[in-house]
């Protein structure tokens, strides 16, 4: 997959069929848009691309009210690479872009991608200043420029459309199975492995310490997880909690992952951790021996879940 960081970098000669949206979480509703885009592209022997925005528009338009995202920009890019799409444009979202009238936004897009043939969006997609551009206007502008506009119906789960808001609420309340049903995959977090204090190693359970990005998180506690790094997947157990940094740095969320049956040097690498099952809540222990014994039980429970006991 090609990744462009502005639509001004576009230099493809093929016809472009484009899904447009914020695509936070890349959930089943978004996947349906991608499938439609792929179908249009393959039928017309063109290329299927995604146009999304970095940072997420809510971070610019309502920074004080913006919720934690399901996927950071880097995480979204990693997940998009799992699709069959030909490429993704991570276009910068700025206040100047948000102030463009809908017609001007559309014209800038056409100028950047002159062989745009299809646009696929969800029913609630808005564009242009004050979100004045709706799907009706999009269809009118597309028709006037010889472009097909497809407004895809939402994917419904348990009577309501799948949405990033519904998924976020499920995750924050620990309903991981619901989130998985709407995402089409287990919920995961993404981050860089950093040097820790090696408490886990001292207790006999070495962990990869992951400084998390600004993403939605499930409740604190211990989970059975699957970790993916460099294209490889590993079973493991993880602790999600908070850690204070040096020099009175503000506490930050930290994920500690113990990978089963393999020794890996992960420092400096990015890792994706999928939450498979909640095992227990966060606890305090009076002694290192009590903590070690509980970690051993956690690991045994997670291993049994993966058929490794």
29/154 same-domain check:
yes
**Rg of the chain over all Cα atoms, to the nearest angstrom:** 22
pLDDT at position 195, please?
Answer: 78
Residue at 173 is within a domain: no
147/199 same-domain check:
no
Q: CA 160 → CA 153, 154, 157, 183, distances in Å?
A: 12, 9, 6, 14
Q: Which domain holds residue 197?
A: 187-305
pLDDT at position 130, please?
Answer: 93
Q: How far apart are the first and last CA of the chain?
A: 39
96/207 same-domain check:
no
pLDDT at position 205, please?
Answer: 83
Q: Which has the closest alpha carbon to 162: 176, 132, 142, 183?
A: 183
104/241 same-domain check:
no
Q: What is the pLDDT of residues 6-54, one digit of tens each?
A: 999 999 999 999 999 999 999 999 999 999 999 999 999 999 999 999 9
Claim: this prediction has a pTM higher than 0.85: yes
Q: What is the pLDDT of residues 145-186, one digit of tens each?
A: 999 999 999 999 999 999 999 999 999 999 999 999 999 999
155/269 same-domain check:
no
197/152 same-domain check:
no
Identify whether the C-beta of residue 108 lies closer than 8 Å to the C-beta of residue 101.
Answer: no
Displacement of CA 43 from its chain's centroid (Å): 29
Q: What is the pLDDT of residues 73-131, one digit of tens each?
A: 999 999 999 999 999 999 999 999 999 999 999 999 999 999 999 999 999 999 999 99
Q: What is the CATH number of the domain that holds 242?
A: 2.40.30.30
Displacement of CA 22 from its chain's centroid (Å): 11
Q: What is the CATH number of the domain that holds 118?
A: 3.40.50.620
Q: What is the pLDDT of residues 279-305, one digit of tens each?
A: 999 888 888 888 889 999 999 999 999
d(CA 9, CA 40): 23
How much is the average pLDDT of 62-73? Answer: 91
Least confident of 186-190, 218-222, 245-249: 245-249
Q: Look at residue 265 and tell me whether its pLDDT is greater than 60.
A: yes
219/259 same-domain check:
yes
In the chain, how many domains are there? Answer: 2
By percentage, how much of the chain surpasses pLDDT 70? 94
- Pick the more confident residue, 241 or 99: 99
Q: Mean pLDDT in the chain?
A: 93
d(CA 217, CA 67): 11
Q: Look at residue 245 and tell me whether its pLDDT is greater than 70.
A: no
d(CA 12, CA 18): 13
């Amino acid at each position: 997959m090609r990744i462009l960081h502005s639509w001004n970098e576009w230099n493809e000669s093929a016809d472009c069929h484009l899904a447009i949206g914020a695509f936070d979480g890349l959930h089943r509703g978004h996947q349906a848009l991608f499938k439609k885009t792929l179908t249009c592209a393959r039928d017309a022997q063109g290329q299927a691309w995604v146009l999304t925005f970095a940072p997420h528009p809510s971070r610019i338009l309502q920074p004080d009210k913006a919720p934690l995202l399901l996927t950071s920009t880097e995480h979204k890019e990693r997940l998009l690479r799992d699709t069959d799409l030909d490429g993704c444009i991570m276009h910068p979202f700025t206040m100047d872009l948000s102030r463009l009238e809908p017609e001007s936004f559309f014209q800038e897009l056409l100028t950047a991608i002159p062989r745009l043939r299809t646009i696929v969006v969800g029913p609630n997609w808005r564009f242009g200043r004050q979100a004045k551009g709706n799907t009706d206007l999009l269809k009118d502008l597309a028709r006037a420029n010889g472009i097909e506009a497809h407004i895809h119906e939402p994917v419904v789960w348990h009577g309501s459309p799948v949405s990033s808001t519904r998924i976020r609420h499920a995750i924050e309340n620990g309903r991981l199975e619901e989130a998985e049903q709407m995402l089409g995959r287990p919920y995961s977090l993404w981050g860089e492995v950093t040097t820790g204090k090696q408490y886990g190693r001292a207790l006999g359970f070495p962990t990869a310490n992951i400084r998390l990005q600004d993403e939605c998180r499930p409740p604190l506690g211990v989970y059975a997880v699957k970790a993916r790094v460099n294209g490889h997947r590993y079973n493991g157990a993880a602790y999600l909690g908070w850690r204070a940094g040096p020099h009175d740095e503000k506490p930050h969320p930290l994920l500690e992952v113990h990978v089963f049956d393999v020794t890996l040097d992960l420092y400096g690498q990015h890792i994706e951790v999928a939450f498979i099952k909640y095992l227990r809540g966060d606890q305090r222990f009076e002694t290192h021996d009590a903590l070690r014994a509980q970690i051993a039980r956690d690991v045994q429970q997670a291993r049994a879940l993966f058929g490794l006991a």
